[in-house]
Amino acid sequence: MVTTAVARKLLIGGEWVETGEWIEVLSPYDGASVGRVPKAGAGETRRALDAAEKAMREPIPAHERAAILDRVSALLSEHADDAARTISAEAGKPMKAARVEASRAVSTFTMAAVEARKLAGDVVPMDASPAGAGKLAFTLRQPVGIVGAISPFNFPLNLVAHKVAPALAAGCAVVLKPASRTPLSALLLAELETEAGLPAGWLNVVCGPAEEIGDVLVDDERVKLITFTGSAPIGWKLRERAARKRVNLELGNATPVIVAADADLDDAAERLAANAFSFAGQSCISIQRIYIERRSYDDFLERFLPRVEALAVGDPAEEETDVGPLITASDRDRILAWIEEAKAGGADVLTGGTLDGELLLPTVIAGAPPDAKVSCEEVFGPLCTVTPFDTLDEAIVLANSTRFGLQAGIFTGDLKNALRAAQSLEFGGVTVNEAPTFRADQMPYGGVKDSGNTREGPAYAVREMTEERLVILQL
Ligand code: NAP
């Protein structure tokens, strides 16, 4: 029986574990306690690795792994309301966005089950060279080994799903460390996996001090792959330290979008207003920089600003809320300081820029200097800049003027320009006539430059989490 009850336990080797110490999970909206989880450390993490190692000694056949993943998907669907409420309570995510996340996690498991069923290697055309004549060869896709998974606060269910589901599809046991501010969704998922019949040790969840747990995952040779989603400095540092492991990084962005004068401006304004501020901009692909062709700059803003101002700001538990709190007050204060810095550099705040109670209002800034933090750092808040441009080439240079490269977008009625932008924007994904905040879970999703080095989406993650083993037969 799954509940959203406040106290959850860690999962290690199939047992629900307490440690005697607790992490309090606080609502980002009003600071109330929404739950607590046991605080683990290096010892529990090593025990989790022991359990994962033991589990992998008895591999689960692919059809059984697929059946378990399908059952998790069905259970998640059944408990979607619990899941959405848990996400909303611990992350401060408005219910409508939390419901979308819960339903996306259902799909992530369904698609991982498909990948488990079709996991296969390739036949190697041995007679294509004289050296191979008389031989038959093929590859097997073997699980890479124990996966250490580290997940962020902002999609506490679906980004855990994007690590755990492909790992299980690939036949890898997992030690998961969820974000300390949002561990409840991950433990709810662990309850569902257990209920779905996942044998002991295949999923282990430890919550606690990031560095202590991270150090064990980095240092222990049994962990063959670390999959990390979070901020760029922490991710790249982990990769440096774990030189002998695969370290797959899904990191941040300062998402740009180009709006050409020949675009459907109403449609662009609608999609961008919704996607720059949803979950208070705390998505790695939240719209941050909008470049608008100068001759339609005023027309676009006339359509965009009223839509931004119409967004409902308030309690994330309310069904009509669009924009809730930032994860911490210090993040809110950081963004307020960045707004002041932009203003001191000559920027104008077109809307927002102030608080409604404790909540930062959706903020649109014009004329931000290119070196202001709102222009070049990841804001991760309900803020976007608007900047005019004259030519598509100029817009592409502006969009590319960032160390990040996760997703970008263009709105245009000209297919040739859309394709030119798609080829020239240095990002892992480019959307055309859709906000670059769009993600469906089967997509190859990930970045270039500082934004990461891998692609998630079950099909792509399973490939990363398996090794090719070559088998050669002498005929
Ligand atoms: P974060 O502060 O980097 O934390 C991410 C995870 O790393 C958390 O579990 C955190 O644990 C852990 N961590 C922190 N320090 C660590 C260390 N020294 N060793 C090992 N683990 C460590 O990121 P966040 O604030 O939760 O999430 C926001 C960031 O994630 C943004 O930059 C966003 O763009 C990025 N993101 C990227 C994607 C993507 O798919 N590309 C998706 C979502 C979010 P604690 O919570 O215990 O500190």
25 DSSP β-pair partners: 35
What is the rounded average pLDDT of the residues 410-420?
A: 98
Q: What is the mean pLDDT of the chain?
A: 97
Q: What is the pLDDT of residue 79?
A: 98
CB 417 within 8 A of CB 410: yes
Is the confidence at residue 1, as pLDDT, over 90?
no
The answer, yes or no, to whether any atom of ligand 1 lies below 6 A from the CB of 211, is: yes
- Beta-carbon contacts of residue 458 (< 8 Å; ≥ 6 apart): 108, 111, 112, 114, 115, 162, 165, 166, 169, 441, 442
- Residue 217: both structure tokens together: 């995952």
Give the Cα separation of 439 and 427 in Å (integer): 14
Q: What is the DSSP string of 80-128?
A: HHHHHHHHHHHH---HHHHHHHHHHHHHHHHHHHHHHHT----EE-GGG
Q: For ligand 1, atom 32, name the residue with the nearest CA.
A: 231
Ligand 1 pocket check: which of 234, 248, 450 to mutate, most ligand atoms within 8 Å of Cβ? Answer: 234
Would you say the CB of residue 151 lies under 6 angstroms from ligand 1?
yes
441 in Cβ contact with 414 (< 8 Å): no
Q: Which of 213, 205, 217, 238 has the alpha carbon at shortest distance from 41?
A: 213
Residues facing 388 on adjacent strands:
292
Cα 289 off chain centre by = 20
Q: How confident is the model at residue 5 (pLDDT cuts 50, 70, 90)?
A: very low
Helix pair 232-241, 210-219: axis angle to 10 deg = 30
How many residues appear in the chain? 475
**Angle at Cα 135 formed by Cα 134 and Cα 140, nearest 5°?**
165
pLDDT cut 90: percent of the chain above it: 98
Q: Is the pLDDT of residue 2 over 90?
A: no
Give tens-digit pLDDT for 149-176: 999 999 999 999 999 999 999 999 999 9
21-43: average pLDDT: 97
Q: What is the mean pLDDT of residues 302-331?
A: 98
Check pocket membership of 250 for ligand 1, CB cut-off 6 A: yes
- 81 Cβ closer than 6 Å to some ligand 1 atom: no
Ligand 1 centroid to residue 364 C-alpha, Å? 26
Residue 147 has pLDDT above 70, yes or no: yes
Is it the case that residue 3 has pLDDT exceeding 70?
no
Q: Tell me the per-residue pLDDT of 90-122, one tens digit each, with 9 for 90 and over.
A: 999 999 999 999 999 999 999 999 999 999 999
Ligand 1 lined by 154 (C-beta under 6 Å): yes
Under 8 Å between Cβ of 228 and 162:
no
Distance (Å) from CA 344 to ligand 1 centroid? 30
Atom of ligand 1 nearest to the CA of 182: 46
CA of 203 relative to ligand 1 center, distance in Å: 20
Query: Residues 334, 152, 290, CA angle at the centre, nearest 5°?
Result: 55
110 token code pair = 């369904």
Q: Ligand 1: which atom is nearest the Cα of residue 406?
A: 41
**pLDDT confidence band for 7 (50 / 70 / 90):** confident
Looking at the annotation, which residues are catalytic? 250, 284
**Nearest C-alpha neighbor of 171 from the set 133, 225, 221, 122:** 225
pLDDT in tens, 363-394: 999 999 999 999 999 999 999 999 999 999 99
> pLDDT tens digits, residue range 221-275?
999 999 999 999 999 999 999 999 999 999 999 999 999 999 999 999 999 999 9
pLDDT tens per residue, range 47-86: 999 999 999 999 999 999 999 999 999 999 999 999 999 9
pLDDT at residue 236 in the model: 98
* Cα–ligand 1 centroid distance for 157 (angstroms): 14
Distance CA(163)–CA(226), nearest Å, equals 10
| Percentage of residues of the chain with pLDDT beyond 70 | 99
What is the model's pLDDT at position 4? 44
With a 6 Å cutoff on the Cβ, whether 439 touches ligand 1 is no
- Rounded-to-integer distance, Cα 69 and Cα 105, Å: 11
Domains and their CATH numbers in the chain: 6-251+452-474 (3.40.605.10), 255-441 (3.40.309.10)
pLDDT for 6 equals 62
